[in-house]
Amino acid sequence: MNAEEKRTIDERLVKVVPSDRQVEHQKTEFYAFVHFTVNAFTDREWGEGTEDPAIFNPVKFDASQWVSAIKDAGMKGLILTCKHHDGFCLWPSKYTDHSVASSPFKRDIALEVSQECRKQGIKFGFYLSPWDRNSKLYGTGKAYDDYFVSQLTELLTGYGDIFSVWFDGACGEGENGKKQYYDWNRYYETVRKYQPGACITICGPDVRWCGNEAGHTRKSEWSVVPARTRDTEKIASLSQQKDDAEFRKRKITAKDQDLGSRDILANEQDLVWYPAEVNTSIRPGWFWHESENDKVRSLDELMGIYNNSVGGNATFLLNIPPTKEGLFHENDVKRLHEIGEYLRKAFSVNLIEKAKVTAGTSIKELIFEDNYEKYWCGKAEGGDNVIEVNFEKPEVIRNIVIKENIKMSQRVESFFVEARTEDGFKKVYDGTVIGYKRIIPFGSGLKTDALRIVITDSRLEPVIAFLGVYE
Ligand code: FUL
């Protein structure tokens, strides 16, 4: 690719920018998934849909315990499984008896959680499984879609502002000959109508599944991707019902490693802003199992996922399953507290405050505050894009944070970081993309009195909104 071809492609790529709802969603960064249904009482991961609501009785349920614990972890949102594949509703839906209303517990869990979120300044969202193993209507086509849209509307209109509507792609193997082709567009219109600020996630146009449930992340996560990437989960959900020809010939899967490099996008006509969300559980299962109380993942592992997701141009959705009593288990609460402590310490003292920051001239004022109003814009034709940070005396650095102004697209393709040593500047990190945020951890610390961030390739001018260097 020569310089002119590159410029032509880049001009097209940087025109792709996020919607306001996508910017707000990305800023949520780290938020909780809460998987709760009859499964907590049956020790299962997928309920059958035949469970008696009488078994659902979380006697100690306390929304404030959940919300306080996730807030303590530094999370900014909560997504509740209001209906999982078993069809049991955590709210008293008018359209089915298979809900909390038929349980001895009776209370509207979705309402109590959404109200507590609002009270504590946490965004609320919900997971609503299209696959429903309880509903007699499932597999009947429009009648089921009507049912689904009615339930969706209840959740979109009765529970305040919703930041994420999470549509799951799983739908089993089309058991008992039941096949339901979801009317996705109708679902999307319903969400847009009642909650225009909500992102429609996974089987939806706003936020993309990262491709695994283990917490693995890509080295280079791009938010500008081919428009047809939006269909991969919808098509995959069909494939689970039948060996669909469209599915077999699809070229993009959520597992592909490169979704958005220049080479991949060069021949794509339609492009979209479609950022990734990394979803995984704090334990092996999505739902609570007594046998997993001692299998809560380590702080190290979870912070590794945090750094690679929030700090790798994605968001991080971490699941914490309540016990059958309706509380988060003490081992999970303890880990959430440790996460919060770690994050508060890791990102509290920004040494930039007392440094000189230059790129030719001083740019400190432009990249010190974490916002998109002030930013530093480099040069389009490489070479000169070096940000230099000088401290008065050597400092011990544990984390560097760099953010692009994503309102002007995702531009940086490659960069590296150098630190001054007794023998001059030495490379300490080799990076690819930045995007919303790049976190560069230095473990026990890097001692230096000067840093250089050298942007070696970018789509037109690199636009850096924030730089943080933390002790
Ligand atoms: C999957 C579901 O089948 C799991 O039970 C879980 O809800 C996970 C987040 O999505 O598709």
Q: The CATH number of the domain where 233 resides is what? A: 3.20.20.80
Tens-digit pLDDT profile for residues 45-55: 999 999 999 99
Span from the CA of 252 to the centroid of ligand 1 (angstroms): 21
Task: Give the CATH number for residue 364.
Answer: 2.60.120.260
Q: Is the CB of 170 under 6 A from ligand 1?
A: yes
Q: Are residues 307 and 174 in the same domain?
A: yes
Predicted confidence at residue 237, as pLDDT, reads 63
Q: Is the CB of 254 under 6 A from ligand 1?
A: no
Q: Are residues 342 and 423 in the same domain?
A: no
- Which of 331, 346, 361 is the last residue in one of the domains? 346
Reported as a pLDDT band with limits 50, 70 and 90, residue 179 is confident
Reported as a pLDDT band with limits 50, 70 and 90, residue 241 is very low
Span from the CA of 84 to the centroid of ligand 1 (angstroms): 8
Compute the mean pLDDT over every residue in the chain, rounded to the nearest whole number: 93
Measured from the Cα of 46, ligand 1's closest atom is 5
Reported as a pLDDT band with limits 50, 70 and 90, residue 239 is very low
Reported as a pLDDT band with limits 50, 70 and 90, residue 329 is very high
Q: Are residues 380 and 317 in the same domain?
A: no
Q: Are residues 309 and 422 in the same domain?
A: no
Indicate the pTM of the whole model. 0.95
Q: Is the CB of 36 under 6 A from ligand 1?
A: no
Q: Are residues 178 and 218 in the same domain?
A: yes
Residue of 168, 175, 207, 234 with the most ligand 1 atoms within 8 Å of its CB, for mutation: 168
The yes-or-no verdict on residue 374 having pLDDT over 50 is: yes
Q: Are residues 331 and 376 in the same domain?
A: no
Q: Are residues 71 and 126 in the same domain?
A: yes
Question: Distance (Å, rounded) from C-alpha 145 to C-alpha 183?
Answer: 7
Q: Are residues 363 and 314 in the same domain?
A: no
Q: Is the CB of 286 under 6 A from ligand 1?
A: yes
Percent of the chain past pLDDT 90, that is, above it, reads 85
Span from the CA of 379 to the centroid of ligand 1 (angstroms): 45
The yes-or-no verdict on residue 174 having pLDDT over 70 is: no
Predicted confidence at residue 257, as pLDDT, reads 86
- Which of 346, 369, 395 is the last residue in one of the domains? 346
Q: Are residues 373 and 325 in the same domain?
A: no
Q: Which of 112-121, 165-174, 214-223 has the lowest mean pLDDT?
A: 165-174
Predicted confidence at residue 170, as pLDDT, reads 76
Q: Is the CB of 233 under 6 A from ligand 1?
A: no
> The domain containing residue 134 runs over which residues?
3-346
Q: Please check whether residue 39 is in contact with residue 45, taking contact to mean a CB–CB distance below 8 angstroms.
A: yes
More confident residue, 107 or 360: 107
Predicted confidence at residue 242, as pLDDT, reads 39
- Which of 301, 317, 346 is the last residue in one of the domains? 346
More confident residue, 263 or 189: 189
The average pLDDT across 402-428 equals 96
Predicted confidence at residue 445, as pLDDT, reads 95
More confident residue, 210 or 159: 159
Q: Which residue's CA lies nearest to atom 6 of ligand 1?
A: 286
Predicted confidence at residue 382, as pLDDT, reads 61
Q: Are residues 363 and 342 in the same domain?
A: no
The average pLDDT across 393-400 equals 97
Tens-digit pLDDT profile for residues 89-120: 999 999 999 999 999 999 999 999 999 999 99
Span from the CA of 367 to the centroid of ligand 1 (angstroms): 39
Predicted confidence at residue 147, as pLDDT, reads 98
Tens-digit pLDDT profile for residues 248-300: 333 567 778 889 999 999 989 999 999 999 999 999 999 999 999 999 999 99
Q: Which residue's CA lies nearest to atom 1 of ligand 1?
A: 170
Q: Are residues 391 and 270 in the same domain?
A: no
Number of independent structural domains in the chain? 2
Q: Is the CB of 168 under 6 A from ligand 1?
A: yes
Q: Are residues 208 and 323 in the same domain?
A: yes
